[in-house]
Amino acid sequence: MGEKKIAIIGGTGDLGFGLALRWARAGVQVIIGSRDESKAKDAATRVRETLKGHAPAESEEFSISGLENAQAAAQASVVVLAVPISAQVAVLKSIRGSLEGAILVDTTVPLAAALGGKPTRMLGVWQGSAAAQAREFVPAATPVLAAFHNVSAEALQDLSVTPECDILVCGDDEAAKQILFPLVKLIPGLRPIDAGPLEMSRIVETITAVLISVNRRYRVHHAGIRITGLDLKP
């Protein structure tokens, strides 16, 4: 997968930084995007420092860099949007001109916490889901997938932890899913599951609120989700 370049827009946040760590560790070329380029570069430096001693066998160093959001998106074939719902539309508007030839992977969960509400409460989105909203703000030719809503950002950032979570992927472009699935598998403990069309994201996004509630009830931090009864090839 070394030929793939992944831009993580919002890579300075918890989920984005965790994904950057894991993919960089696996030898993928990663570009961290931020509205502030200096913050993106600082995050890339933090990834390098964290990964010292973990370089993949086929490489002497990691390919990780930081750029302003639109510049990061323009250089990647897969663009992962990892921002709060409160910033989603503004960020999409700022990068939509840089998405030609790329796949957009939306991780946004419309939690009320983004606007000062309860973290277990969902916000209503007119389009039905955050991913469906993203679909309206990017070019028609850009495939949009919804994924990574239910994996613990804290577990991704802790390299001593193997996150136990299935990644439910929703989208209407089958070819785009086949590009994303191998990237998911590069992160130990994660298994991509085809959860159907993009409209299913309205259900998948709400599972995040359930997992937050479970974490609180059982005083844990890494609750995930597994789909049983599937015989999938590794």
Give tens-digit pLDDT for 48-82: 999 987 765 555 567 899 999 999 999 999 999 99
Structural domains in the chain, CATH included, are 5-218 (3.40.50.720)
User: Can you tell me the mean pLDDT for 134-150?
Assistant: 97
From CA 91, how far away is CA 105, in angstroms rounded? 14
pLDDT at 2 over 50: no
User: What pLDDT is stored for residue 233 in this prediction?
Assistant: 73
pLDDT band at 115 (very low <50, low <70, confident <90, very high): confident
pLDDT at 98 over 80: yes
Question: Smallest Cα–Cα separation from 195: which of 148, 158, 152?
Answer: 148
From CA 59, how far away is CA 158, in angstroms rounded? 22
Number of C-beta neighbours around residue 136 at 10 A: 12
Burial (CB count within 10 angstroms: exposed 0-12, middle 13-18, buried 19+), residue 101: exposed
pLDDT at 1 over 60: no
User: Can you tell me the mean pLDDT for 98-125?
Assistant: 86
Instruction: Quote the mean pLDDT of the chain.
Output: 92
From CA 184, how far away is CA 171, in angstroms rounded? 15
The edge-to-edge listing of strands for the beta sheet with 5-9 is 64-68, 29-34, 5-9, 78-81, 103-106, 144-146, 165-171, 190-194
For tokens 């380029």, the residue is 37
